[in-house]
Amino acid sequence: MEKDDQDQREKGPQIKEEKQFYMPIPAGTPYSVIAEAVNRFGVELTEKEVIVPGIGENEAAPLAWVLVGSKENLERAHEFIVKKMTEMLDRFR
């Protein structure tokens, strides 16, 4: 048995790390829509500091909700959120 083969088996399967992207959530997006997108498309909801000009060193930057995930999953989540919000607006008319 080759040493490299043995080392590979001991390490287990190689997990390919995907590059993670951020997608901001527009203000006013219902939490139910965000939660459904998170569950359907395997993205994560988190907070990210918003870069605002003029913030001093001792001031805390505001936080905004963002979805984090692969580019493909975020694109699908974006389409889903837009569709759901459009449906909600159409019902409102």
Please tell me the pTM assigned to this model.
0.71
Cα-Cα-Cα-Cα dihedral of 47, 48, 54, 55, to 10°?
60
Domain-embedded: residue 4: no
Domain-embedded: residue 28: yes
Strand, coil or helix: 26: coil
Domain-embedded: residue 2: no
The string of pLDDT tens digits covering residues 9-58 is 555 444 456 789 999 998 899 999 999 999 999 999 999 988 878 877 77
Domain-embedded: residue 1: no
Taking a C-beta distance cutoff of 8 angstroms, is the pair 29, 81 a contact? yes
Taking a C-beta distance cutoff of 8 angstroms, is the pair 41, 72 a contact? no
- Residues written for the chain: 93
Domain-embedded: residue 48: yes
Domain-embedded: residue 59: yes
